[in-house]
Amino acid sequence: MGSLDGKIALVTGAGQSIGRGIALALATEGAAVTIAELDAGNAKKVAAEVEERGASALAYPCDIRDNAQVAACVAATVKRFGGLNILVNNAMASVVGIPLEETTDAAFALSFATGPAATFAFMRAAFPHLQGDGRIVNLRSGSELSGLPGYSAYVAAKAAVGGLTKVAAREWGAHGITVNAVAPFAPGPTTQAKFEEHPEMLDGILRSLSIKRTGDAEQDIGRAVAFLVSPAASYITGCTLMVDGGGSFL
């Protein structure tokens, strides 16, 4: 038996990288999972992987910038599985590596539309279904502390997600909902490619970590999320769990 048997989860951006790892970790613990993903092909692939773990899956193509699509995704999950217990806001798009003074309005808007605005929309849409024993996990970043150069829009958006997490934890505890965050370090394919091209970048990061390796999307990040949404974490809310090998302390 898994710790999440009978539970229903919705994970945004679950078609790749950390989102995929989270979806697979939740499935391994027995949860049915909706794969909310812009790329329909990737959504179907991860849904098949979830089913290979013995869990039910729904592949749902969704542009998280569109509130109507967000509401429809939540409604489709409830219709398919009969409810919703777990919401993981993982998806976010951002243009990085640009000095603040060169960051365009469009780049700034993209980070906020796919970060805090989408997180807010999913939380609001899911709220009626999560009452009683619901779990929300939002994805933050250790770069909020470091003020990573070239990441102004990204860092600002992630900080806003952190603010939403804290307010929701205060307000929704009375409704039986816990709201926490995870700040991960598990490079996806694009970042890994950059590390292969510039190994000194990875070397510099690893020197700053207490545990000198990169995180694994499923085994490290996914399992941390699985803990936060499990019965074992029912008295934890409003916290940010740093799953980054000791790269930062928040």
Q: What is the mean pLDDT of residues 55-73?
A: 98
Is the CB of residue 185 less than 8 Å from the CB of residue 247? yes
- 44 and 73 in contact (C-beta within 8 Å)? no
Reported confidence tier of residue 45, pLDDT bands at 50, 70, 90: very high
pLDDT value at position 162? 97
Is residue 65 included in any domain, yes or no?
A: yes
For residue 86, is it within any domain? yes
Domain for residue 198, yes or no?
A: no
Is 26 inside any structural domain?
A: yes
175 within a domain of the structure (yes/no)? yes
- Average pLDDT across the chain, whole number: 94
Spatial separation of the C-alpha atoms in residues 215 and 241, rounded to whole Å: 14
Residue 193 scores a pLDDT above 80: no
* pLDDT value, residue 191: 73
CB atoms within 10 A of CB 207: 8
| pLDDT above 90 for 87 | yes
The model's pLDDT over 197-224, given as tens digits with 9 standing for 90+, comes to 777 777 788 888 888 888 899 999 999 9
For the question of residue 154 being annotated catalytic, the response is yes
pLDDT of 136-156, one tens digit each?
A: 999 999 888 888 889 999 999
Model confidence over 12-28: pLDDT tens digits?
A: 999 999 999 999 999 99
Q: Which residues contact 27 (CB under 8 A, 6 or more apart)?
A: 33, 49, 50, 53, 54, 55, 57
Task: Please calculate the CA angle 106-125-64 and round it to the nearest 5 degrees.
Answer: 30
56 burial type by CB count under 10 A (0-12 exposed, 13-18 middle, 19+ buried): middle
Give the total number of structural domains in the chain.
1
Reported as a pLDDT band with limits 50, 70 and 90, residue 105 is very high
Q: Specify the pLDDT at position 250.
A: 60
The CATH code of the domain that includes 229 is: 3.40.50.720
pLDDT at 209: 81
118 falls within a domain? yes
Q: Establish if 229 belongs to a structural domain.
A: yes
Query: Which structural domain range is residue 162 located in?
Result: 8-188+216-242
In a domain, 32, yes or no: yes
Q: Rg of the chain's alpha carbons, rounded to an integer?
A: 17
